[in-house]
């Protein structure tokens, strides 16, 4: 691989230790179904659906064909003051999947853009209603909302903010995260303790006044930071508090959307309807970048009414509703429906839960948690070297033909929803062996 290393210099890789990667690169050249193929011809079982996005499995023929057909027929269409039918059709189809009265859809190009869009819609909503003192945005500790300035401001992952801390959005607060290993370790499904963590919002309300707060944004399940689940009753409580105080509630479902937790959205699964839902990733099965914000009818109507003529919302992207992405989205939603993949995720979840909880006895494991087809396996950090145990596990698994995702010392598993039971056994079996090797070798 040394001959390649000079060729790898120009790309500044995202969220990657560039120097380490370029010394020992891991390159993928093909994918099909549940597997990647590496540049040296090895098969790797995809335990993470790419980066939580390939929910229907890789290189699905109907999606490939839809993208190719669109590229041939309508490569690009301006979305400002013009439109094309597939984008409208996709919005209609998506609104059928969205919970409650969320039936208006704004298209973006990614999760980060969806988050910035949702925050701006929240501000525009209050402004349109003459409530323009509601400008404060509330996120949560350890939250991940992408990498735009809005997203890192409401986000609560310190590493993502540190270098930019002096220039973040000014009126932002964070409520506490929901991780409570002391009470909830090795919980199965949603953890029993911690609904009251939602009441931390009352602290912010007491400090600043409810009338200054525009919106609260949370991931129903915090993915990036290491699979932090919502305790039973927590999201309901957050909804009640927001309702009581006229605050919009945004669920960031970039990861939890499209079947990951055993329903169309986590909102559907827990039975809580937020005011806005951000999404991306699984929307197009990861095949073409695309995101969206689902908006409650009343929020959309208020913005329309606040602006009786002309452009109602001064916001949009060159690639909002891109034809190739729209085609990929429609084909993806067709597969989810025709193969019943959301239901499949729900019905496989008990098998998945039993399998991943077997890792409880592997060395170094301090927690296993699961929801739908997601699992978090938290490892004890090595003294003075946090993150190294997780990183070693990632590299050794990859060498053994298993792709996992690691943040710090927490392993996140989130396979495509087409995974078979035998593949679950393989994933968990190899991971257990690797954790033993990592503990023995100290590397």
Which lies closer to ligand PLP via its Cβ, residue 16 or residue 318? Answer: 318
Interaction residues for ligand PXG, span 378-407 (CB under 6 A): 405
* Residue facing ligand PXG at closest CB distance: 111
**Is residue 252 near ligand PXG by the rule CB under 6 A?**
yes
Contact 329, 283 (CB under 8 A): yes
Q: Residue 79's CB: how many other CB atoms inside 10 A?
A: 18
User: Strands (DSSP E) along 362-419, which ranges?
Assistant: 365-371, 374-379, 402-403, 405-407, 410-413
Span interacting with ligand PLP, options 317-325, 336-344, 354-362, 386-394, rule CB under 6 A: 317-325
Which lies closer to ligand PXG via its Cβ, residue 213 or residue 413? Answer: 413
- Crossing angle of helices 388-399 and 421-441, rounded to 10°: 130
For the bound state, the minimum distance from the C-beta of residue 320 to ligand PLP, rounded and expressed in Å, comes to 8
Alpha-carbon distance 214 to 248, whole Å? 6
**Is residue 275 near ligand PXG by the rule CB under 6 A?**
no
* Residue facing ligand PLP at closest CB distance: 318
**Is residue 22 near ligand PXG by the rule CB under 6 A?**
no
Length of the chain as a residue count: 443
Give how many residues touch ligand PXG by CB under 6 A: 17
**Is residue 230 near ligand PXG by the rule CB under 6 A?**
no
Q: Give the three-state DSSP class for 49.
A: helix
Burial 302-314 (b: 16+ CB within 10 A, else e): bbeebeeeeeebe
Q: Torsion angle of alpha carbons 414, 332, 31, 421, nearest 10°? A: 40
Sketch the per residue contact string, 58 through 97, with ligand PXG: x for CB under 6 A, - otherwise: ----------------------------------------
Q: Which does 319 bind (CB under 5 to 8 A by kind): ligand PXG, ligand PLP, none?
A: ligand PLP
**Is residue 317 near ligand PLP by the rule CB under 6 A?**
yes
Which lies closer to ligand PLP via its Cβ, residue 300 or residue 317? Answer: 317
For the bound state, the minimum distance from the C-beta of residue 316 to ligand PLP, rounded and expressed in Å, comes to 7
For the bound state, the minimum distance from the C-beta of residue 291 to ligand PLP, rounded and expressed in Å, comes to 12
Among 234, 258, 319, 371, binds ligand PLP (CB under 6 A): 319
Q: Which residues contact residue 47 at a Cβ distance below 8 angstroms, ignoring those fewer than 6 apart?
A: 397, 402, 403, 404, 405, 413, 414, 415, 427, 431
Contact 65, 73 (CB under 8 A): no
Q: Give the three-state DSSP class for 111.
A: helix
Residues in the site for ligand PXG, rule: CB under 6 A? 51-52, 110-112, 115, 144-146, 219, 223-224, 252, 254-255, 280, 405
Residues in the site for ligand PLP, rule: CB under 6 A? 317-319
């Amino acid at each position: 691989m040394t001959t390649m290393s000079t060729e790898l210099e120009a790309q500044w890789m995202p969220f990657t230790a560039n120097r380490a990667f370029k010394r020992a690169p891991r390159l993928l050249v093909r994918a099909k179904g549940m597997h990647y193929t590496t540049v040296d011809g090895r098969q790797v079982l995809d335990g993470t659906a790419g980066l939580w996005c390939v929910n229907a499995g890789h290189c699905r023929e109907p999606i490939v064909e839809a993208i190719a057909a669109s590229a041939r027929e309508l490569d690009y269409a301006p979305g400002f003051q013009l439109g094309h039918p597939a984008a409208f059709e996709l919005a209609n189809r998506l609104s059928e999947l969205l919970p409650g009265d969320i039936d208006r859809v704004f298209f973006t190009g990614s999760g980060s853009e969806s988050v910035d869009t949702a925050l701006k819609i929240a501000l525009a909503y209050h402004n349109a209603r003459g409530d323009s003192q509601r400008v404060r945005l509330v996120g949560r500790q350890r939250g991940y909302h992408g990498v735009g300035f809005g997203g890192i401001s409401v986000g609560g992952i310190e590493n993502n903010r540190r270098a930019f801390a002096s220039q973040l959005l000014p009126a932002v607060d964070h409520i506490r995260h929901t991780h409570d290993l002391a009470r909830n370790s090795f919980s199965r499904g949603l953890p029993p303790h911690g609904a009251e963590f939602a009441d931390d919002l009352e602290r912010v309300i007491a400090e600043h006044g409810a009338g200054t707060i525009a919106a609260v944004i949370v991931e129903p399940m915090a993915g990036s930071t290491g699979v932090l689940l919502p305790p039973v009753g927590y999201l309901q409580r957050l909804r009640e508090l927001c309702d009581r105080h006229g605050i919009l509630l945004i669920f960031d479902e970039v990861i939890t959307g499209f079947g990951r937790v055993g329903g169309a959205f986590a909102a559907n699964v827990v039975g809580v309807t937020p005011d806005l839902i951000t999404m991306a990733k699984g929307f197009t099965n990861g095949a073409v970048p695309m995101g969206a914000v689902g908006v409650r009818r009343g929020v959309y109507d208020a913005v329309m009414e606040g602006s009786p003529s002309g452009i109602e919302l001064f916001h949009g992207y060159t690639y909002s509703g891109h034809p190739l992405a729209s085609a990929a989205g429609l084909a993806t939603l067709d597969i989810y429906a025709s193969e019943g993949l959301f239901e499949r995720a729900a019905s496989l979840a008990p098998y998945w839960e039993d399998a991943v909880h077997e890792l409880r006895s592997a060395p170094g494991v301090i927690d296993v948690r699961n929801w739908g087809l997601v699992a978090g396996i938290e490892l004890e950090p090595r003294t003075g070297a946090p993150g190294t145990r997780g990183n070693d596990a990632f590299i050794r698994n990859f060498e053994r033909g298993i792709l996992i995702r690691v943040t710090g010392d927490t392993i996140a598993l989130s396979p495509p929803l087409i995974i078979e039971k035998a593949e679950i056994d393989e994933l968990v079996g190899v991971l257990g062996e690797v954790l033993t090797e990592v503990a023995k070798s100290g590397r």
